[in-house]
Amino acid sequence: MMDYSLGKGDFENWVVSDTAFSPDTLGKTESIMYLGNGYMGLRSATEEPYLKEVRNLLVSGTFNKFSEEEVTELPNVSDMTRLDIRVDGERFSLELGETKEYVKQLNLKTAELTRTFNWTSPKGKELRFHFRRFVSLDNLHLIGMKMDIESLTDPVEISFDSGINAQLSNTGSQHFHEGEKRIFDKRFVQLIQTTIESNIDIVLNTAHQLTLNGKNVQEEPVMNMDRRKVWLTFDLALQPGDKLELEKLTTVYTSRDKEFDTPEYQLKKLREHSLNDLRSSSEKGYDALFQSHKEAWKNKVWSVYNFEVNSENPFDQLSLRFALYHLTVMTPAHDERMGIAAKALSGEGYKGHSFWDTELFILPFFTYSNPEVAKSLLKYRYHGLAGARSKAKDNGYEGAMYPWEAAWPTDGEVTPVWGAVDIVTGEQTKIWSGFIEQHITSDIAFAVYQYYNVTGDQEFMNKYGYEMVFDTARFWTSRLEWNKAKQEYHINNVIGPDEYKEHVDNNAFTNYMAHFNIKLAISYYDKLEKENPTLLSNLTKQLDLKEAYKLWKSKLTKIYLPKPRKEDAVIPQDDTYLHLNVLDLTKYKQADKVGTLFSEYNLEQVNQMQITKQADVMILLYLLEQADNVFTNEIKQANFDYYEPKTTHDSSLSLSTHAIMANDLGKNELAYLLFKKASEIDLGPFMHSSDHGIHAASLGGIWQAAVFGFAGIRLVEGKLRINPRLPKHWKDMKFTINWKGQPVSLTITNDILTIHPLNGGMITFEVFGNTYETNQEMEVKLEEETSNIF
Amino acid sequence: MMDYSLGKGDFENWVVSDTAFSPDTLGKTESIMYLGNGYMGLRSATEEPYLKEVRNLLVSGTFNKFSEEEVTELPNVSDMTRLDIRVDGERFSLELGETKEYVKQLNLKTAELTRTFNWTSPKGKELRFHFRRFVSLDNLHLIGMKMDIESLTDPVEISFDSGINAQLSNTGSQHFHEGEKRIFDKRFVQLIQTTIESNIDIVLNTAHQLTLNGKNVQEEPVMNMDRRKVWLTFDLALQPGDKLELEKLTTVYTSRDKEFDTPEYQLKKLREHSLNDLRSSSEKGYDALFQSHKEAWKNKVWSVYNFEVNSENPFDQLSLRFALYHLTVMTPAHDERMGIAAKALSGEGYKGHSFWDTELFILPFFTYSNPEVAKSLLKYRYHGLAGARSKAKDNGYEGAMYPWEAAWPTDGEVTPVWGAVDIVTGEQTKIWSGFIEQHITSDIAFAVYQYYNVTGDQEFMNKYGYEMVFDTARFWTSRLEWNKAKQEYHINNVIGPDEYKEHVDNNAFTNYMAHFNIKLAISYYDKLEKENPTLLSNLTKQLDLKEAYKLWKSKLTKIYLPKPRKEDAVIPQDDTYLHLNVLDLTKYKQADKVGTLFSEYNLEQVNQMQITKQADVMILLYLLEQADNVFTNEIKQANFDYYEPKTTHDSSLSLSTHAIMANDLGKNELAYLLFKKASEIDLGPFMHSSDHGIHAASLGGIWQAAVFGFAGIRLVEGKLRINPRLPKHWKDMKFTINWKGQPVSLTITNDILTIHPLNGGMITFEVFGNTYETNQEMEVKLEEETSNIF
């Protein structure tokens, strides 16, 4: 049972709690309370094992392919969180005996997981348990665990097994060769594994420190080894009132780590280095290591991203902090060769792959809040040009065709080919996204555009950005299909954002975004011609831009862009959508479980109805406002009213875009509801929605709904627009964005926007149609003309 | 809690029962009650899942190697036994709610596993469960399961998931590529997997038939697919008194099956064939299929191996039936390319490999009881000559050096190289058996000798046996090391049967058996020269026997054979053993758990003391009696008294040999105790001894202790000797052996041996020194001269 009210004092609205243990809904807190630091993610499985548990330790960038028939994925590294505890010889399990005062909680401020409870064994012995755990943000390789057991009533024998277990797999696929196992000094346990295809060495070291009533326990544990497993068995007698404390510290290193991924790499050195790190960490101990970790969170996260909301519903404040926590732990900010996974580092879902989720739903947060990290993520896509170019070539196109799913930058397309069962034929359905969901390429170009305009980072553009935009535009001109009858360019046989509709022609989003991408390339070419002809000349040589530019110019205006219908301003999602039958979705939209529709209809049948999975025309209207701003509010309103009731929101990417659009259109209460719904995707009461991992994009979406939605921040035609419309439940909100290299603090109430360029640089911005300029704190009275409200 | 008294009437002393469910000792009944038919073994895990369960489906001969660093092993094929059952939405588990009248039992006569109990859910709904399961001996590819659920008190909603799950691995190593998954006609579920290295296709098909109060349920289940998994979800409402019956039938086929392992093999045809088998089996239904299975057990097993014992302790009768049951289900009698695994087909222990366990502990049962099967097992070793020859060559020797552990015949040596942790250094210990435990080669030659003498199967010898004996003898002459000082041949740096002693010189067993092997080759050569020069000439060409014969003759008499010491007639186990310190083993021999010694001493330390793991000199004395009979009873007695107290019996191979020897030596009560102890290795009250699988050799040992021990059957110098000495707890025993191609029935009481050559052929035999001859039923009064008793 989730509870959000347990944080007190300094931790008010900082604590996510589960106050009732249930062995059938373990996935919920395992996922949403997972710990990480971008280098690795550790699913928050309980120490003692349960049937339905999923233990995951995922290390960014360690992709491996089990076999030619499978796609590469983030492998599940060894577990060291499991403790098999026996109390007087009986297995300790919360399914047995009696449990009181159970609380498992994640403190977002300190990024510490704790679990406390009193447990009475079936034999009647009462014990107090207290578990703590963190994945250090100070030393990215370090995991700290602590267990206290206090005997409350009786003398009791405690014994437990603890070590490193590499018998885990990814739902059956084993990515590792078993390497050497070793116990040094009867204390430091080391296990090595090597990925079977990508040949990455993983070295894990763990050490235990045991005290009884504060005194070191001298007795040596029993050492054990089995296949893919090494562990120690401890055995202790407790008298009533005795307190046993265990500290277990672990270091994780891999040969993919930047500092080791060099031609001079030697496993021996990695082993030594990782073991030395553990030895010196062990000398410090849990408390000191946790202190450094907490300070890192303060300095690197909360003092940078501080986000305050005064709401009637404290949950709103918590959910924004929850989003910022997760945006931090999911992001491999330390290594530009790595991207963000769709399920973050919290589970095996989507195999650790990066989708457009990053560029459209997560990157904007970093672009506006921490441009250095945004740059690293965009450089991941720059390195991905290699894979994108080979995908284009393999498909008979020019330039860079980004993979729908991306793993290691040079891997290219890694989308799996087979999905769920077809309930009509009994066959497995084919996943077409890797072949025909092509808008990802322009989405990445858009992200470059947005980053450049918000940050003004010219160096990035010179080194990486222009090349990305030019080569993606080259792809699109080669992709366009000439329709002779209509004398225009079409893009046929694609999947748009609405993935229910496979093999459609002229998906509006895809066509408009391709058009945007080519147009952007032309404008950058023109700009460089004037401003930096040397760079242009270099890029021209490399990418054959002379010829490309000609094609861009000649094809751009002939691209078919589906226009709003005259009668109702509705933009056809694709060539056929508006001719399909309409199904009343009310009952499916109300169902707890997304996807119940598919127990009654197969994809082919859904394909034949006006049913949309997620924002499609909606996201087009929202995105292009930041470029051309060609769609009027009337068009937005008409399309929202037409498409929203036909949208199942069967993607966690859907709600936040709808929340922003609803707020733009003055549907404030609906916007707030959609924001809350988006917040509840992971943090809400649905106990199975996060089983395979948290929804990374929706966490970015929570931030977007608040900042782009309620605060009304928007890049429009290169300028900063701020049209705030707070929910009536909010008194004020306060946060910081980065604009053209400068942090800008914003405080918004219902009447007043207080803006403060913190470095004293001049900023220009627009509020409800009026333009302002300031280089110091300034208040703007918020008065919206009613004509702006829809 | 094991109970052996539940079989009544026709099933008296036929039923092994567990009457108290415990989630912490699941391995016990999973292993000892496992089902099989030699083609496959299905571990008897419960339908509903538990934390410590081990689900195993092993198919003989489907060996695969996960990687170059690992050895080949029998892979764990998909599971179809698991049923995830929910009662009113709550997970059904015997750890929850209340269970009454719990009985899980294996009926040895019908080879059916059943489980019945009443369960009251945490919400208070009372249900009666009845599970049944068999692995058909009639159709080797068929598995039948049945579940009845009766609602006793309330209306209740039952739902369950059932299908095929290929997410299993071998302790983490995944041997399969995921193949196609398919549901035909919304009913027939098919899953294909292919081993990653040996490229064997496995096709599993399963079908469900559901009835409510005897009427077919029409409602369609929900179809589901996930990675390596396909399943159906059923949902039914029961009124009080309603009975739900589920039949689940499965077929298992592989491309290694003899009929498919041809150059014309096509997966398509295997799929069709296996699905058709399931379709036609489904038409018959569980009851009819079970009837055919039962009849197969009657005709192929119990009417052939019937073994009756009248004992004060009915457990003795049960344990002999238990042994015969397991000797049947473990043996791939259908395919001479396959051997018997050390843990049978009951678990992953020892990786499905064949050891000397087969030839010395299991094969004698078949040689004396079912020579056709014995021949198939010896032909497995004949095919194994390929691997044995390459092992010899790789080690710089001639002839055939059999692998210590064998898998697919051509694989050669497959013993793993790394074992348990060294508790002193913290490193993994090296397993030397594959390099230096060399007696396996003469053990196999001995088995050929025994088979030939007992059966008189000259055709086998001509086609296979001579070649095996000649080529193993060739190995030994190349292996002998000339000791210049002593002017004799030594065999240095070996492991004998006592595996505690690594790297010893002149292990008595190894030297004597090598001597036996060479001597046997000489005698066969001489015999063939006279009786079948054509065959000899063919073999001579193939094996260079002219040269080999010269070497055999010249080296044989110069082999060092450790003689009994003059002072006490003790034969030194090896060159150093008798000079080592002696440790009092009393406390270790009493410990429940074999191997506690190793939590106090590492192997190197045990190596330095007079501690023996298992019969070593003992088994030498026992075996060679069947050939040269050079050891007097005084020597046997002296060595038994010297070595037994130094033997930990830390191998399941040890007790039965000691029981036979004790009985030979007139230590009747000790012999009976050792027999009981041997019977209890799997069937006894130790709840963890069978976790990794049953002890195949010890099951053959139970039969040997009864037949070679109590009944005193022995091949001695080519003749049949019968010196019965029944335990005083036994009234009589009755069984059948095969002698020279004829079944011979034996009934033994304390006073009288009744012998009946069933085909009317003449047999010659010796009883306590007197020789008899008969071709019809004959009674021999048993009168032992006291001088024979020690």
Residue A790: its pLDDT value, please? 43
Do A329 and A257 sit in the same domain of this protein?
no
Average pLDDT, chain B: 95
**For strand B719-722 and strand B763-767, is the pairing parallel, antiparallel, or unpaired?**
parallel
Question: Judging by beta carbons within 10 Å of its beta carbon (0-12, 13-18, 19+), is residue A211 exposed, middle or buried?
Answer: middle
Per-residue pLDDT reduced to its tens digit, A35-45: 999 999 999 99
For residue B66, which residues of chain A lie inside 8 Å, CB to CB? 174
Per-residue pLDDT reduced to its tens digit, A350-371: 999 999 999 999 999 999 999 9
CATH number at residue B450: 1.50.10.10
Q: Which of B499, B502, B625, B644 is catalytic?
A: B499
Last residue of a domain, one of B657, B681, B710: B710
Question: Measured at the alpha carbon of residue B194, what is the angle toward residues B385 and A64, in degrees to the nearest 5?
Answer: 110
Task: Answer whether residue A788 shows pLDDT above 60.
Answer: no
Nearest chain A residue to B188 by CA distance is A426
Coil, strand or helix at B9: helix
Do B251 and B317 sit in the same domain of this protein?
no
Do B632 and B521 sit in the same domain of this protein?
yes
For residue A178, give the nearest of B69, B91, B183 by CB distance.
B69
Residues B499, B606 contacting (CB under 8 angstroms): no
CA distance A50 to A53: 5
Tell me which DSSP letter residue A221 carries: P
Residues A36, A330 contacting (CB under 8 angstroms): yes
Strands (DSSP E) contained in A362-514 are 418-421, 428-430, 481-483, 488-490
Test the A interface: residue of B78, B174, B199 with most A CBs within 10 Å: B174
Partner-chain contact B184 A426, CB within 8 Å? yes
Domain annotation covers residue B742: no
For residue B87, which residues of chain A lie inside 8 Å, CB to CB? none
Per-residue pLDDT band at B420 (split at 50, 70, 90): confident
Residue A587: its pLDDT value, please? 83
Partner-chain contact B171 A24, CB within 8 Å? no
Do A321 and A258 sit in the same domain of this protein?
no
For residue A428, give the nearest of B24, B225, B599 by CB distance.
B225
Per-residue pLDDT reduced to its tens digit, B221-251: 999 999 999 999 999 999 999 999 999 999 9
Do B238 and B110 sit in the same domain of this protein?
yes
Residue A602: its pLDDT value, please? 83
Distance to chain A for B4, nearest Cα, Å: 27
Residue B595: its pLDDT value, please? 67
- Please give the torsion angle defined by the CA atoms of residues A648, A652, A655 and A661, in that order, rounded to the nearest 10 degrees: -110
Task: Answer whether residue A718 shows pLDDT above 90.
Answer: no
For residue B171, give the nearest of A225, A228, A421 by CB distance.
A228
Token pair 């980053």 in the structure block, residue: A451
Count CB-CB contacts under 10 A for residue B717: 12
Do B277 and B316 sit in the same domain of this protein?
no
Residue B386: its pLDDT value, please? 96
CA distance A62 to A194: 10
For residue B23, which residues of chain A lie inside 8 Å, CB to CB? 91
User: Please, which residues have CB within 8 angstroms of residue A280's CB and are 6 or more apart in sequence?
Assistant: none
- Please give the torsion angle defined by the CA atoms of residues A772, A776, A778 and A784, in that order, rounded to the nearest 10 degrees: 30
Partner-chain contact A223 B421, CB within 8 Å? yes
pTM of the model: 0.95
Residue B430: its pLDDT value, please? 87
Rounded to two decimals, the ipTM of the complex is: 0.93
For residue B223, give the nearest of A174, A181, A421 by CB distance.
A421
Domain annotation covers residue A787: no
Report the pLDDT averaged over residues B316-334.
98
Task: Answer whether residue A604 shows pLDDT above 90.
Answer: no
Do A288 and A320 sit in the same domain of this protein?
no
Do B281 and B316 sit in the same domain of this protein?
no
Report the pLDDT averaged over residues B5-17.
94
Do B584 and B447 sit in the same domain of this protein?
yes
Please compute, for residue A355, the number of CA atoms within 13 A of its CA located in the half-sphere on the CB side: 22
Calculate what percentage of chain A has a pLDDT beyond 90.
91
Do A326 and A265 sit in the same domain of this protein?
no
- Please give the torsion angle defined by the CA atoms of residues A536, A390, A402 and A75, in that order, rounded to the nearest 10 degrees: -130
Report the pLDDT averaged over residues B308-334.
97
Q: Is B219 a catalytic residue?
A: no
Per-residue pLDDT reduced to its tens digit, A48-60: 999 999 999 999 9
CA distance A598 to B223: 11
Partner-chain contact A183 B599, CB within 8 Å? no
Per-residue pLDDT reduced to its tens digit, A369-378: 999 999 999 9
List Cα–Cα distances, B781 to A480, B327, B727, B728, B790, in angstroms. 102, 32, 17, 17, 21
For residue A227, which residues of chain B lie inside 8 Å, CB to CB? 171-173
Coil, strand or helix at B45: coil
Test the B interface: residue of A192, A423, A598, A600 with most B CBs within 10 Å: A423
Per-residue pLDDT reduced to its tens digit, B688-724: 989 999 999 999 999 999 999 999 999 998 899 999 9
Cα B197 to its chain centre, rounded Å, is 26
Question: Of A427, A358, A429, A438, which is closest to residue A397 (Cα–Cα)?
Answer: A438
Residue A518: its pLDDT value, please? 98
Residues B109, B96 contacting (CB under 8 angstroms): no
Residue B789: its pLDDT value, please? 45
Test the B interface: residue of A26, A223, A271 with most B CBs within 10 Å: A223
Task: Answer whether residue A170 shows pLDDT above 50.
Answer: yes
Q: Is B589 left (phi over 0), alpha (psi -120 to 50) or beta?
A: alpha
Partner-chain contact B230 A173, CB within 8 Å? no
- H helices of B532-643, in order, are 533-543, 545-556, 586-590, 603-607, 617-624, 633-643
Partner-chain contact B69 A177, CB within 8 Å? yes
Q: Three-state SS across B710-730? A: HCCEEEECCEEEECCCCCCCE
CA distance B36 to A132: 47
Domain annotation covers residue B754: no
Domain annotation covers residue A781: no
Domain annotation covers residue A716: no
CATH number at residue B43: 2.70.98.40
Residue A785: its pLDDT value, please? 62
Partner-chain contact A183 B24, CB within 8 Å? no
Q: Which of A499, A502, A625, A644 is catalytic?
A: A499
CA distance A305 to A699: 14
Task: Answer whether residue A589 shows pLDDT above 90.
Answer: no
Cα B189 to its chain centre, rounded Å, is 32
Question: Measured at the alpha carbon of residue A279, what is the angle toward residues A278 and A283, in degrees to the nearest 5?
Answer: 110
Domain annotation covers residue B20: yes
Q: What radius of gyration, in Å, describes the C-alpha atoms of chain A?
A: 27
For residue A420, give the nearest of B166, B180, B225 by CB distance.
B225
Task: Answer whether residue B593 shows pLDDT above 70.
Answer: no
Per-residue pLDDT reduced to its tens digit, A382-431: 999 999 999 999 999 999 999 999 999 999 999 998 888 887 788 888 89
User: Please, which residues have CB within 8 angstroms of residue A456's CB and are 6 or more apart in sequence?
Assistant: A740, A741
Do B279 and B404 sit in the same domain of this protein?
no
Last residue of a domain, one of B694, B710, B726: B710
Residues B594, B629 contacting (CB under 8 angstroms): no
Per-residue pLDDT reduced to its tens digit, A63-86: 999 999 899 999 999 999 999 999
Distance to chain A for B490, nearest Cα, Å: 36
List Cα–Cα distances, B659 to A26, A72, A489, B622, in angstroms. 53, 57, 90, 11
CA distance A498 to A480: 21
For residue B178, which residues of chain A lie inside 8 Å, CB to CB? 69-70, 172-173
Question: Judging by beta carbons within 10 Å of its beta carbon (0-12, 13-18, 19+), is residue A522 exposed, middle or buried?
Answer: middle
Partner-chain contact A196 B67, CB within 8 Å? yes
Calculate what percentage of chain B has a pLDDT beyond 90.
90
Domain annotation covers residue B729: no
Range of the domain at B628: 309-710
Average pLDDT, chain A: 95
Do A287 and A338 sit in the same domain of this protein?
no
Domain count across chain B: 2
Last residue of a domain, one of A280, A301, A322: A301
Report the pLDDT averaged over residues B480-484.
98
Partner-chain contact A178 B196, CB within 8 Å? no
Residue A786: its pLDDT value, please? 52
Distance to chain A for B184, nearest Cα, Å: 6
Count contacts between A and B (CB, < 8 Å).
110
Count CB-CB contacts under 10 A for residue B499: 18
Domain annotation covers residue A629: yes
Partner-chain contact A177 B67, CB within 8 Å? yes
Distance to chain A for B205, nearest Cα, Å: 14
User: Please, which residues have CB within 8 angstroms of residue B16's CB and are 6 or more apart in sequence?
Assistant: B2, B4, B32, B33, B105, B106, B108, B318, B322, B683
Task: Answer whether residue B786 shows pLDDT above 70.
Answer: no
For residue A177, which residues of chain B lie inside 8 Å, CB to CB? 67, 69
For residue A230, which residues of chain B lie inside 8 Å, CB to CB? 421
Partner-chain contact A183 B421, CB within 8 Å? yes
Partner-chain contact A186 B426, CB within 8 Å? yes
Nearest chain A residue to B227 by CA distance is A171
Structure token digits, residue A250: 């672990």
Phi, psi (deg, nearest 5) at residue A399: 65, -145
Partner-chain contact B227 A168, CB within 8 Å? no
